[in-house]
């Protein structure tokens, strides 16, 4: 009876649908936007700003990208920590090949531009200004991975197989976009009451004001300019040093970050759970299966840097041998260059430090000490900006300016993120997992910032090669668990600090860290002619992760 009724019902519906089809009056899906649909730009901005944290939204290392937040795969590649048990923490090997792109974000940027033009006309608006910034951000994100990329024709439906722009031209155009973004946002910030007003309280996940976004745009431009340091002297048309100096010396036209309160940050939330800090609570049982990396730990230990106490715990074997938690030599990192068999043996004997369980596993909203949330995730930050300016000054890009004060400001800004000052008591908990059977107890270490700053390794040596090495080293330390790929890119550009490579742990064919990604498979399949031409002109026909591109020559 039920089957007969169902058959009759389906037959009736089929006849109705056929009849409707014949009459040609099928309705459009009311839930699907068309090209003429009005979409609030705030919705598109929400998606775009979220992708600045996700790194293009492709969260798959095999697809050429990983999430750019803390404690993800890229932070191993930045040599901050290592996995000692791949089943739970993944591998340490530099096993990338084909990159992802940011073109998935470009389509939202273009839609936001279209909607802004449709809804605001010629009226100045923040969405048009931000679109210029986002365009520059996503094209720089992609080009620094591979070399030449489609830019001028990218996203244009009239060019289904876009040609590749030279990397030089990509950077030239991106710098121009950032300059335009600054001008547009500056005009808006100059309107009475706008400077301290939120651009979009709903769509902008970063909660920036008009002036705040203008500072971020110019600070990001400083990052891009310093990333071009290898090409600063042989490409006079780019005016790299003078563009950098113009920003630093003209704060009225080019406002930049003035402190940590201006940082572009991603805030984690205790609810909903999907917005929790990455280690909370899923990785709590697995704290014993990852260790600190000696690239990072060795720098902190040698410099008697108090940040070692907030980022790491003493190696259990060192404490068992009688050392105190305030002894910098009690902190030992594992070598990412080593194979798993060697790391596992060392970890099993308690030879390596762990990350600070108290700080990184106890709060859904982010790192904390003694229950007090200290810092969110930084995407573009004031400490980095200070070191970028210090580097430029050291190189002579800013006439009459020394790198000294900016170097010191960068260190102090980084220390303040962790609440570190002379006399501060930092709680040190021995690992919950320790193979030498230590009693799980809590000790306090008293911080000496003045002692750290007076350390000969840290006190600025001047605007010379030694001073430059200090700047780059301290920038690396300040990048701990923030700013995405910047530690790797700075190492690739400068060689500082000396990343460990050449051993079995690197995992590549030549045991060396890759210096670029291969182009996406989609380019090879769907844009074959232009892809082949780009590979031939840049790398002699071989799309290799060992190839040197214009940026890094």
The confidence score (pLDDT) of residue 62 equals 42
Check: CB of residue 329 under 8 Å from CB of residue 318. yes
**Could you give the C-alpha distances from 235 to 15, 141, 230, 489, 498, in angstroms and in order?**
71, 21, 10, 20, 28
Cβ within 8 Å of residue 327, ≥6 positions away? 314, 318
Alpha-carbon gap, residue 458 to 26, rounded angstroms: 73
The confidence score (pLDDT) of residue 236 equals 96
The tens digit of pLDDT for each residue in 496-522 reads 999 999 999 999 999 999 999 999 999
If residue 266 lies in a helix (H) or strand (E), which one and from where to where? strand 264-266
* Total length of the chain: 553
Count of alpha carbons within 13 angstroms of residue 548, beta-carbon side? 5
The confidence score (pLDDT) of residue 26 equals 40
The confidence score (pLDDT) of residue 433 equals 59
Strand 81-83 relative to strand 290-292, pairing: antiparallel
The confidence score (pLDDT) of residue 63 equals 42
Check: CB of residue 334 under 8 Å from CB of residue 84. yes
The confidence score (pLDDT) of residue 283 equals 82
User: Other CB atoms closer than 10 Å to residue 421's CB: what's the count?
Assistant: 14
Alpha-carbon gap, residue 538 to 549, rounded angstroms: 7
The confidence score (pLDDT) of residue 286 equals 82
Helices of type H across 356-423? 357-360, 382-394, 404-417
- The class level of CATH for 273-506 reads mainly alpha
Residues in the chain where the model's pLDDT stays below 70? 1-36, 56-65, 369-374, 430-441
């Amino acid at each position: 009876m039920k089957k007969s009724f169902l058959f009759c019902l389906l037959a009736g519906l089929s006849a109705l649908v056929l009849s409707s089809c014949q009459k040609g009056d099928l309705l459009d899906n009311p839930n699907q936007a068309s090209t003429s649909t009005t979409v609030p730009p705030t919705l598109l901005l929400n998606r775009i700003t979220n992708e600045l944290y996700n790194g293009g939204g492709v969260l798959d290392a095999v697809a050429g990208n990983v999430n750019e937040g803390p404690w993800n795969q890229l932070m191993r590649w930045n040599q901050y920590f290592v996995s000692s048990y791949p089943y739970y923490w993944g591998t340490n090997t530099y096993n990338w090949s084909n990159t992802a792109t940011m073109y998935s974000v470009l389509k939202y940027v273009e839609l936001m531009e279209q909607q802004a033009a449709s809804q605001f006309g010629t009226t100045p608006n923040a969405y048009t200004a931000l679109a210029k910034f986002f365009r520059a951000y996503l094209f720089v994100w992609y080009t620094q991975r591979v070399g030449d990329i489609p830019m001028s024709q990218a996203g244009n439906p009239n060019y289904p197989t876009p040609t590749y722009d030279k990397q030089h031209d990509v950077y030239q155009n991106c710098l121009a976009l950032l300059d335009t973004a600054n001008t547009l946002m500056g005009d808006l910030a100059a309107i009475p009451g706008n400077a301290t007003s939120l651009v979009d309280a709903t769509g902008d996940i970063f909660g920036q004001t008009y002036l705040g976004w203008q500072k971020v745009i110019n600070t990001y431009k400083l990052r891009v300019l310093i990333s071009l340091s290898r090409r600063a002297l042989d490409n006079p048309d780019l005016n790299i040093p003078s563009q950098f100096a113009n920003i630093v010396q003209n704060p009225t036209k080019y406002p930049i970050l003035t402190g940590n309160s201006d940082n572009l940050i991603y805030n984690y939330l205790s609810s909903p759970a999907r917005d929790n800090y990455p280690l909370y609570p899923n990785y709590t049982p697995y704290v014993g299966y990852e260790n600190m990396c000696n690239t990072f730990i060795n720098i902190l230990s040698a410099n008697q840097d108090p940040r070692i106490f907030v980022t790491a715990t003493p190696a259990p074997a060192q404490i068992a041998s009688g050392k105190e938690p305030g002894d910098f030599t009690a902190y030992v990192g594992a070598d990412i260059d080593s194979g798993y068999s060697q790391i596992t043996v060392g970890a099993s004997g308690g030879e390596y430090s762990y990350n600070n369980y108290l700080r990184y596993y106890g709060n859904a909203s982010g790192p904390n000490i003694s229950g007090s949330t200290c810092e969110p995730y930084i995407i573009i930050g004031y400490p980095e900006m200070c070191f970028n300016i210090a580097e430029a000054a050291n190189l002579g890009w800013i006439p009459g300016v020394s790198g000294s004060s900016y170097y010191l400001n960068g260190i102090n800004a980084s220390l303040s993120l962790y609440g570190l000052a002379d006399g501060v008591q930092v709680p040190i908990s021995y690992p919950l997992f320790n193979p030498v059977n230590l009693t799980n107890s809590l000790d306090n270490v008293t911080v000496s910032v003045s002692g750290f700053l007076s350390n000969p390794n840290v006190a600025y040596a001047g605007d010379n090669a030694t001073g430059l090495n200090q700047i780059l080293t301290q920038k690396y330390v300040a990048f701990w668990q923030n700013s995405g790929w910047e530690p790797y890119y700075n190492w690739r550009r400068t060689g500082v600090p000396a990343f460990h490579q050449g051993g079995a742990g690197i995992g590549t064919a030549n045991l060396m860290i890759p210096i670029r990604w291969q182009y996406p498979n989609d380019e090879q399949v769907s844009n074959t002619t232009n892809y082949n031409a780009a590979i031939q002109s840049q790398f002699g026909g071989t799309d290799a992760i060992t190839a040197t591109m214009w940026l890094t020559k």
